[in-house]
Amino acid sequence: MDISFLCTVKSPWKIRTARREDCPSIFELICELAEFERAADEVVITEEQLAEDTFGKRPILEVLVLEKDSEILAAAMIYEKYSTWKGRAVHLEDLIVKEAHRGNGYGAALFEAVMDIAKERNYSRMDWQVLDWNKPAIDFYKKYGAHFLDEWVDCRFTTEEIKKR
């Protein structure tokens, strides 16, 4: 996918669609995020599964990466979803910036790139979640005027619970 329309300002970094060979760097970002979210032991996917889910026969994940000097410093992981009332929408699963590179505008650039994709594809909405203790992320999203949906409760079955059925 050509996302050159997203980068209208000249910058020292580049946002682009991920390629299969980026999977090791993306996987490292995933592991760093899990560590930050106090859930490092919950990462069960592998680089191979990430590659299959992103570039395989039935891709379900789209990844944008931000690179500077050929190093991937941040990534945004999105997928299409459907609202029975509103139609096609996009879900931002994760927005990850390497800890050593936070505060440089990389997260904002990627977040705005995802918003641009949502607009360009005419999605009805853009959804994401943020942990209630992650004040820096909450404050970041508030700057954009995000709506925080207190009336919705997340629900989940784990792999084990699914297998019990």
Query: Cα-flanking dihedrals φ and ψ of residue 24, to 5°?
Result: -60, -40
Catalytic positions: 141
Nearest by Cα to 80 from 93, 95, 97: 93
- Calpha distance 119→160 (Å, rounded): 38
| Token pair listed for 37 | 């979210």
